[in-house]
Amino acid sequence: MLTMHGEYKVPGGKLVVADLEVVDEHVKTAQISGDFFLEPDDALERINGALAGLPIALPAAQIAARVRGVLGDGVEMLGFSPEAVAVAVRRALTGATGWRDHAWQFVHDVPREPALQMALDEVLTEQVGSGERPPTLRVWEWASNAVIIGSFQSLRNEVDLDGAARHDVTVVRRISGGGAMFVEPGNTITYSLYVPESLVSGLSFIESYAFLDDWVIGALNDLGIAATYQPINDITSPAGKIAGAAQKRFAGGAVLHHVTMAYDMDAGKMLEVLRIGREKLSDKGTTSANKRVDPLRSQTGLDRADVIERMVGTFRNRYGLAAGAIDAATVELAQERVAAKFGTEEWLTRVP
C-alpha cells in the first residue's frame, strides 16, 4: 500500500489537501481536508466515499464528475469546488511538489538586450530542468526598447516595422505563445519563474497559469490594487489590464512562466509600433486583441523599484527566497543561442 499526499491552493480561494492510500492501481481510501467551508458536515464523507476505488489514471474531469455526482442539491462549497478536489487528488497521485518544497533563488538581473533576454529564458529553464540551478525568480532589466512577439504570431500582422525603427524599438520573438508586448526600460516590470514540472503536476495549462500567478496577485492586492486573474493569461483590475503572462513547458521537466507588467506607458508610441486593432494583413499567425492597459504607476503612486521590492517581498514571505546570480558561463551560452537562434532573421520571421 502506498500513501500519497497532494495539496492545491485554489487561486483566490482555499487550500484543498488530499491524503490517499493506494493499492493495486486504485485509491483504497481518501481523506480530503483543508481550510475551506462545506455544508452540511456529512458532505465531506460523501466526497471521500466517491474517491474510494477510483483508478489512479482517472483524469481530473472524471474525478470531479464523481465528486459532483454524490453531492446533490443543498451542498454549499465555499472556497473550493469538485474541480479543486480533483486537482488535489491528481497532484497527490502524480507526486506533485509544493512551493515550500523547493529552495527558491532570486536574481535581479542587470540590463540586457532583448535577444539575450529571450535566450536567457531558454537557458535558465533548461538549467532548472537538469538540476544545475534551483527554481528561480528572475526580475529583468531592459537595456533598450523592445517589442516581444509570441512564438506563433505573424511579424507583419503584429508590428509596424517602420514605427519600430522610428522609435528605436528592437523586435524579438520569444519561445512561448501569447501576444505582443511593448516594453521600455524603466516603464515595464518583467519577471520569469523557472520551475520544475513537479510544481504544476496535476494542473492543466490554464490551471497552472492561475496557480503560478497567485502570489503576484496577492502582492498587488497588498498594494491596494483589486487585481484578479483573467483566463487564459491576463492579470487585470477594474481600471484595466495590468499584465500578461506566457508559459512554455520543456521536455526536460521544467516550466518557464514569464510576466510583463505595465508600470508606466507611452500609449501613443506603443500604437505606432504595434498594430493593435488594425486589420489583419494576412491569414498567417494571430493578431492581438485591443486590450485596455492601466499602468501600475497610476494605480499605486509608488516608484518602480518600490513596486518590485514589495512584489519580491511577498514571494519571499510566502515561499522563502535566497540571493542568486547568473554566472558568466550561463551568459556565454545564452549569447551563443542569440547567434544561432534568437538574433537571427530566420527565427524572427518564422511566421512572416
**Tens digits of per-residue pLDDT, 98-153?**
999 999 999 999 999 999 999 999 999 999 999 999 999 999 999 999 999 999 99
Q: How far is CA 38 from CA 17, 35, 90, in A?
A: 14, 10, 21
Q: Using an 8 Å Cβ cutoff, are 292 and 240 in contact?
A: yes
Taking each helix axis from N to C end, the angle separating 43-51 and 60-71, rounded to the nearest 10 degrees, works out to 140
**pLDDT interval class at 287 (50, 70, 90):** very low
Residue 19 has pLDDT above 70, yes or no: yes
Nearest to 90 by CA among 16, 144, 148, 147: 16
Look at residue 22 and give its three-state secondary structure.
strand
Read off φ and ψ for residue 141, nearest 5 degrees. Answer: -130, 135
Q: What is the mean pLDDT of residues 254-278?
A: 89
Q: How far apart are CA 219 and CA 214, in angstroms?
A: 9
DSSP designation for 200? G
The pTM assigned to this predicted structure is 0.91
Dump pLDDT digits (tens) for 189-232: 999 999 999 999 999 999 999 999 999 999 999 999 999 999 99
How many residues belong to the chain? 352
Nearest to 210 by CA among 253, 167, 257: 257
Helices (H), the chain: 43-51, 60-71, 82-93, 114-130, 155-158, 161-166, 205-222, 267-273, 296-300, 304-319, 328-337, 345-348
